Amino acid sequence: MLAAFVQSKDTHSARFFFDTMPHRSVVSWNTMISALAHHGDLEEAGNLFDLMPDPDTVSWNTMIQAYTNAGKIDLAIAMFYEMNNRDIGVRAEEITFATAVDACAGIPSLRDGETIHRCAADEGLDCDVVVGSAVINMYSKCGRLDRARGFFEKMAVKNTITWNTLITAYARNAPPQQTLQIFQEMQQHGIKADDVTTVCVLLAYSHGGLVAEGLSCFVFLVAEHGIRATMEHYKCVTDLLCRAGREDEARELIRGMPFHPDSLAWMILVGSCKSSWEVGGVAARAFELDPSEGSLYVLLSNLCKNSVS
């Protein structure tokens, strides 16, 4: 019955039903806490957690994840330390460490990230694929790409997620050529690329101004790796063409893509328009799709300032 209330998003009825339950199992506690956190009532979820007689690992993980998702990073990290330092008979698992490390990446906090990494290493869990990927992401977001790459090299098992995390780290912090080098290494190790890989690689080609190579890579990944082209991929190729001054081709790509283009697709084109007539025409399409998109107003404002100066 409790699960039915939770699925119906009726948290008030769920809480009433929960309060009247004569015997609450740990699963029932966790279900209620998860439901409250999912619906944004973190204060109530925290209060319920504090009332639990014996919170288990799932209970702690739920709260750490809830605080992380809500952007309350300090609370998420404090929750991890409390769980890890107290003698409460509960051990952190892979998902615990991964979530806590992700929280450190969100601030970012290198000191806390290093501490939690050491805790995971002490448990022999830092080279788990999920935890390891979180560690790579954390170091890169803390500006330590060298540490991210060094740790990556130590991992015994690497999959597509691990490689994607490293490629994303390089795409965010290094010259495009280094990102493409990581992608080549990934191919040499026989790791199959996926949607995320494709987006990162296309962005690297775009930022490097390597239009022909980027288009060829896109065709290769779709044809050889069986990647199903998504809206994000088409927007990357649009950006690639616009950065090379090939706006006509970008416009035709947007009009001919097998999806209904969103406002962002047209916004990419707005920044490359050379005349006020072009800006007006393309911007109109973007406004038509999403008139509440604030970044479009900022972009147009900047374009107007540049044209005046």
**Where residue 275 falls among pLDDT bands split at 50, 70, 90?**
very low
Residue 203 predicted with pLDDT over 80: yes
Angle, CA of 267, 271 and 272, to the nearest 5°: 120
Select, from the ranges 30-39, 135-144, 168-177, the one with the highest average predicted confidence (pLDDT).
135-144
Q: Which residue has the higher pLDDT, 255 or 307?
A: 255
Residue 219 tokens read as 């065709």
Question: At residue 154, what is the residue type?
Answer: K
**Lowest mean pLDDT, pick from 42-56, 169-183, 213-227, 270-284:** 270-284
What torsion do the CA atoms of 80, 81, 85, 87 make, to the nearest 10 degrees? -40
**What is the pLDDT, as a whole number, of residue 95?**
96
pLDDT tens digits along 71-94: 999 999 999 999 988 777 888 999
Any idea what DSSP says for residue 156? S
Is the pLDDT reported for residue 106 higher than 50?
yes
Confidence band for 285, pLDDT divided at 50, 70 and 90? low
Predicted pLDDT at 277:
36
The amino acid at residue 97 is: F
pLDDT averaged over every residue in the chain:
83
pLDDT, position 250 = 87
Q: Is the pLDDT of residue 189 over 90?
A: yes
Higher pLDDT: 284 or 293? It is: 293
- Express as a percent the part of the chain with pLDDT over 90: 48
Residue 103, C-beta contacts closer than 8 angstroms, at least 6 positions apart: 64, 67, 68, 73, 76, 77, 80
Rounded to the nearest 10 degrees, how much is the dihedral formed by the CA atoms of 154, 156, 161, 166?
A: 20
**Residue 290 pLDDT class (50, 70, 90 cuts):** low
